[in-house]
Amino acid sequence: MKALALALLAAAAPLAARTVTVTPGAGAQERLQTALIEAQPGDTVQIAAGRYDLTDGLSLDVDKVTVRGAGPNATVLSFKGQQGAGEGLLVTSDDVVLRDFGVEDTRGDGIKSKGADRIVYNNLRVEWTGGPKETNGAYGVYPVSSTDVLIDRVTVRGASDAGIYVGQSKNIVVRNSTAEFNVAGIEIENSYNADVYANTARKNAGGILVFDLPNLPQMGGHAIRVFDNRVVENDTPNFAPKGNIVASVPTGTGVMVMANADVYVFGNTLAGNGNANVMLIGYKRPFTDKTYNPLLRGVVVRDNKHGRAGFAPSFPGGKEIAAAMGGSLPPIFWDGTGTGVVVRDAVPALSLNLPSPDASVDQARPAPAQFADGPLPPEPKPVVLPPPMEAAIK
């Protein structure tokens, strides 16, 4: 009877939030994983400074837990010896905060969160320490199928797909982050309402991508703002394994928008991108999905600062077109398809004037692009996240 009374009491009164500290050393895998399993809502799992040599992917499935290290270079979760699982850390619960630790050399993705609403990634480092390689994992941080995502002060290096990838999600902020030496620096895919700002994307094959793909549960990517970013010197040769959509990103691309609606690209500093500072295209591959729209609709590029670009065109037919144009291409490239595509930058743009996104480059009639005057398509509203997410990293 006493046990019953106690059990009832425990059920009635929420337990005080605890901090559980895990330290490096023998058995780190099981100790850390067990701490993540036994955490209660409100708890913090504190990972003390040091290096953790892990053998398996870690996972968290408890709501309202903070996982916190001592800094992105002080607490290092190394997955060099990983023997199983598709990622380093997997989060499948809501209201989770991940902050102040580093993840190295995962065999698959770095940190993935799926169906994890209101997740915060803050002050993290995800890195493949051997530099860019096709055998590196695909994504550095990988929130997918989630509502309300905040990525702030995250650094990713070496991802063989996208460093920071947000897929099939809604209400997204990616800011103050650095993506370098990845195939794609930052990628927003099949997502709604995203603000991507104050990031640096450098030394990737492509800097910032806004994509939409067919045959997925969430399609129709729209309402994306990419602004005040530094997207420079994206000249790492594309090292993505074939078959993946990013393998088709031409090396030397700054910002690339594909098959999305209501996208604003403004106030960015774009320079040293040998293919193009900005690339605007429809979806080229064959597809059968009748609910998918392969076209750009309402894409505005305005008030960006442009440095040198177009000096090393790498899309099919690019070199030939550049030769015909006197050696290099304008900083902005458009396939010429879609509706409501408007560029208001102080640099020229090239249009291929293709009849459709999947037309072959032989059908291109390259010429300086002409854009409609008059009012711009409306700018998407700023993304507002639930206040506790911002408060968590104050």
Partner 1 sequence: MRLLACLAGWMLLASAAPPGVNDALILGDTLPPKLSDFGFFRDGKPRPRVHPYTLNTPLFSDYAEKERFLYVPASKTITYRGDGLLDFPIGSALIKTFGYPGRKLETRVLMRRASGWVALPYVWNGNEAELRRGGTRIPVEVHGQPISYAVPNQNQCKECHQLAGSIEPIGPKARNLAQPLLDDLVKAGLLDRAPAGPKLPRWDDLQAPVAARARAYLDVNCGHCHNRAGAASNSGLYLTWEEADPVARGIGKTPVAAGRGSGGLEVAIAPGKPDLSILLYRMNSTEPGVAMPELGRSMVHQEGVALVRDYIAGMK
Binding region for partner 1 (CB under 8 A): 1, 4, 7-8, 11, 29-31, 33-34, 36-38, 55-57, 59-61, 82-86, 90, 92, 106-109, 114-115, 134-139, 142, 144-145, 160-161, 165, 167-168, 213, 215-217, 241-245, 285, 288-289
Cβ–Cβ contacts within 10 Å for residue 225, how many? 23
**38 vs 303, which CB is nearer to partner 1?**
38
> Which parts of 31-133 are beta strand (E)?
44-47, 50-53, 56-60, 66-68, 75-78, 84-91, 97-104, 109-114, 119-127
Give me the least distance between CB of 102 and partner 1, in Å please: 19
Give me the least distance between CB of 59 and partner 1, in Å please: 4
Give me the least distance between CB of 219 and partner 1, in Å please: 10
Exposure string over 23-54, b if 16+ CB within 10 A, otherwise e: ebeeebbebbbebbeebeebbbbbbeeeebeb
Give me the least distance between CB of 215 and partner 1, in Å please: 5
**37 vs 384, which CB is nearer to partner 1?**
37
9, with CB counted inside 10 A (0-12, 13-18, 19+), is exposed
Rounded to a whole number, what is the distance in angstroms from the first to the last CA of the chain? 46
**82 vs 251, which CB is nearer to partner 1?**
82
**214 vs 252, which CB is nearer to partner 1?**
214
**17 vs 37, which CB is nearer to partner 1?**
37
**137 vs 274, which CB is nearer to partner 1?**
137
Whether 47 contacts 22, CB under 8 Å: yes
Cβ–Cβ contacts within 10 Å for residue 286, how many? 7
Q: In this structure, what is the dihedral angle of CA atoms 222, 227, 233, 235, given to the nearest 10 degrees?
A: -10
Give me the least distance between CB of 77 and partner 1, in Å please: 15
**240 vs 300, which CB is nearer to partner 1?**
240
Give me the least distance between CB of 270 and partner 1, in Å please: 27
**92 vs 147, which CB is nearer to partner 1?**
92
Exposure string over 350-381, b if 16+ CB within 10 A, otherwise e: bbbbbeebebeeeebebeebeeeeeeebebbe
Whether 141 contacts 184, CB under 8 Å: no
Give me the least distance between CB of 145 and partner 1, in Å please: 5
Give me the least distance between CB of 132 and partner 1, in Å please: 13
Whether 270 contacts 306, CB under 8 Å: yes
Alpha helices in the chain, H assignment, sequence order: 2-12, 28-38, 318-324, 387-391
Q: Which residues pair with 276 in a beta bridge?
A: 253
